[in-house]
């Protein structure tokens, strides 16, 4: 349905929208452009366009070690967050237990809480129990903080789910375990993939929690952080440009999946609205 | 329809995990805030309020907290000023391109926070993109020094980062406004301005509150943008906490500040939830 007459559109709204888009994309454009700039970062106009920074990047061992560490952390975080987030969503939708309201708030808290608070409180926990900081402690931090994403996504999916299917499965003699794997999980495929993509990306990019839980091995954002403090080179632009391209691929992939799926889920909106206590 | 066994199986594992890795650490932070550090740099488990006393007594903590709140407030206002009209434009005049435009607002969220903050640094620096551009077109002779290493740079960067966060809930709220209300208002002779202020805006308030809470809380606790772009005048409360957990080595005092932040955030969330309930029409 047309909501307004197109001719009644105030032109300042269009200009404002264009300006906001320019503001949002300016740093990204600068980033990509200057990854090809032979003269280093900054300086206008850019000259001596070159691929040198990409060559430097591909020969840079520590960066690739950090990329591998980040991939490991992100994958492990997806497993933990889904492993606990999916049952948590089922519990919130289907079970009554004492402390449920507190549980719901606690699960969602890390997404809205500044990362420093979650990071430091976990640091104190590991310190009290004498656990050495390593990639594993980062995995625990990311996995725990991102349960919130899995729970909100899957909870939204559950509310659209037709319970009759599960009921039929149970009536026809399947046990809960079989019903879970053959009915519940296939029906939640889309929210689970959406959650996994979002958790993966958030973990790859996470720095505030990792900042306090880092051991000897750096994740990519912390490696970049260390280099930024020493001085800036277009090599950082080059690695960021590559990550940006991968993020774009993930978005396109997710978008196509959603278009194919019956019910389009607005992953980001659901997370954002759930944060405000909208869940359950 | 679900047996007790099923309910226990889905409830207990996440409940135990969240208790161990979220509730316990937050409570531990509360405990730490009462402890102290001995001259030999050992954490003493003595229970007293001296850390909170120090926070109340020493001006720098208060001033930095107030400055952080002022920075966060500016970020919130600018994010809303950028995000609201954009959401309105997309929701009411987006037409066929609505979905694409929506995705275009989301995409920057997928680009690393750190990388975007760093890009602003390369734009604002004294030999950065903006200053050399201004000199290239002869607007200025010398680089403008106030651009980088100032609260201005922090507010600008955080506004850039949190505008999509402010946009999302506002857009969701606008999209949920029943069309017939807007049409009825037009049909009954209200001007576009009256329709906006009497129908659309009040119905979008829950989204505005959600977006504002997001922008305020997340920028309040930020410590990376101030470290990267803030300079000495752009230091925020989390930077003090970071130094207390690092070189200054006073974890208990750092824990006390963190716990105050936690309380502040939780009360803001509580307040925004109340406001949203009050203004929601459902």
CATH number of the domain bearing residue A250: 1.10.3720.10
Q: Do B210 and A276 touch (CB under 8 A)?
A: yes
- Please name the residues in contact with B6: beta carbons below 8 A apart, sequence gap of 6 or more: A94, A176
Q: What is the DSSP string of A191-260?
A: HHHHHHHHHHHHHHH--TTHHHH--SSPPHHHHHHHHHHH---HHHHHHHHHHHHHHHHHHHHHHHHHHH
Per-residue pLDDT tens over the stretch B60-101: 999 999 999 999 999 999 999 999 999 999 999 888 888 889
The pLDDT value recorded for residue B205 is 93
For B195, which residue in chain A has the nearest alpha carbon? A4
Looking at the domain assignment, is residue B15 inside a domain? no
Give chain A's residues under pLDDT 70.
1-8, 40-44, 232, 260-280
Sign of CA pseudo-dihedral A48, A50, A54, A60: negative
B173 within some domain = yes
**Number of independent structural domains in chain A:** 1
pLDDT one-digit tens code per residue, B146-188: 777 888 899 999 999 999 999 999 999 999 888 888 889 888 9
B221 touching chain A per CB within 8 A: yes
Closest CA to A161 of A81, A228, A90, A218: A90
Query: Residues of chain B with pLDDT > 70: what percent?
Result: 99
Token digits of residue A76: 């492990």
ipTM comes to 0.89
A75 found inside a domain:
yes
Whether the CB of A263 is below 8 Å from some CB of chain B: the reply is no
Check residue B44 and report its DSSP letter: E
Mean pLDDT, all residues of chain B: 88
Query: Per the CB < 8 Å rule, is A251 touching B22?
Result: no
CATH number, domain at B268? Answer: 1.10.3720.10
Residue B22, domain member (yes or no): no
Phi then psi dihedrals of residue B44, to 5 deg: -100, 130
**Domain, as residue range, for B167:** 59-279
Asked if B224's CB is within 8 angstroms of A240's CB, the reply is no
Boundaries of domain holding A93:
61-278
Per-residue pLDDT, A2:
44
- Return the sign of the alpha-carbon dihedral for residues A20, B89, A274, A194: negative
Nearest to B10 among A87, A116, A118 (CB): A87
CB contact under 8 A, B14 and A9: no
pLDDT tens digit sequence for A158-202: 888 888 888 888 888 888 888 888 888 888 888 899 899 889 988
Decide: helix, strand or coil at residue B69.
Answer: helix
CA A167 to chain centre: 34
Q: How many Å lie between the alpha carbon of A171 and the closest alpha carbon of chain B?
A: 10
Is B5 contained in some domain?
A: no
């Amino acid at each position: 349905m047309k909501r307004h007459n197109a001719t009644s559109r105030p032109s300042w709204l269009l200009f404002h929208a264009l300006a906001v888009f320019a503001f949002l994309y300016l740093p990204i454009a600068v980033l990509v452009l200057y990854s090809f700039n032979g003269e280093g970062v900054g300086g206008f106009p850019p000259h001596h366009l070159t691929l040198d920074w990409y060559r430097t990047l591909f020969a840079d061992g520590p960066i690739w070690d950090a990329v591998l560490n980040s991939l490991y952390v992100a994958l492990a975080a997806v497993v933990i967050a889904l492993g606990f987030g999916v049952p948590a969503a089922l519990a919130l939708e289907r079970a009554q237990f004492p402390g449920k309201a507190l549980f719901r708030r606690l699960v969602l808290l890390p997404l809205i809480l500044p990362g420093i608070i979650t990071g430091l409180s976990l640091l104190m926990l590991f310190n009290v129990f004498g656990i050495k900081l390593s990639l594993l402690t980062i995995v625990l931090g990311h996995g725990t903080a991102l349960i919130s994403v899995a729970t909100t996504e899957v909870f939204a999916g559950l509310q659209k789910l037709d319970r009759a299917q599960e009921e039929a499965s149970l009536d026809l003699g399947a046990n809960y375990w079989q019903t879970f794997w053959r009915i519940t999980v296939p029906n939640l495929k889309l929210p689970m993939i959406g959650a996994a993509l979002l958790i993966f990306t958030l973990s790859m990019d996470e720095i505030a929690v990792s900042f306090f839980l880092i051991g000897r091995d750096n994740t990519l954002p912390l490696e970049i952080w260390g280099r930024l403090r020493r001085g800036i080179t277009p090599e950082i632009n080059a690695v960021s440009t590559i990550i940006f391209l991968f993020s774009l691929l993930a978005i396109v992939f997710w978008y196509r999946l959603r278009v194919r799926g019956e019910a389009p889920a607005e992953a980001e909106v659901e997370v954002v609205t759930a944060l405000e206590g909208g869940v359950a | 329809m679900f047996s007790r066994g099923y309910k226990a199986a889905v409830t207990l594992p996440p409940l135990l995990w969240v208790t161990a890795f979220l509730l316990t650490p937050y409570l531990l932070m509360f405990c730490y805030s009462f402890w102290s550090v001995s001259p030999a740099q050992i954490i003493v488990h003595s229970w007293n309020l001296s850390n909170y006393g120090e926070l109340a007594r020493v001006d720098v903590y208060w001033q930095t907290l107030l400055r952080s709140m002022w920075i966060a407030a500016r970020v919130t206002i600018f994010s809303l000023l950028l995000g609201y009209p954009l959401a309105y434009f997309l929701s009411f005049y987006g037409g066929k391109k609505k979905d694409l435009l929506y995705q275009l607002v989301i995409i920057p969220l997928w680009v690393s926070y750190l990388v975007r903050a760093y890009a602003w640094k390369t734009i604002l620096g004294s030999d950065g993109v903006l200053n050399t551009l201004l000199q290239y077109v002869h607007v200025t002779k010398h680089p403008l020094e106030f651009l980088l290493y100032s609260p201005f740079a922090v507010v600008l960067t955080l506004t850039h980062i949190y505008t999509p966060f402010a946009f999302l809930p506002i857009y969701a709220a606008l999209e949920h406004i029943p069309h017939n209300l807007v049409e009825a208002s037009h049909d009954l002779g209200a001007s576009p301005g009256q329709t906006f202020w009497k129908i659309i805006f009040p119905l979008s308030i829950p989204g505005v509150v959600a977006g504002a809470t997001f922008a305020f809380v997340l920028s309040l606790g930020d410590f990376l943008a101030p470290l990267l772009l803030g300079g000495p005048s752009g230091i925020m409360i989390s930077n003090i906490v970071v130094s207390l957990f690092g070189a200054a080595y006073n974890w208990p005092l750092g824990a006390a500040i963190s716990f105050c932040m936690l309380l502040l955030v939780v009360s803001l969330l509580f307040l925004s939830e109340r406001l949203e309930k009050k203004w929601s029409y459902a």
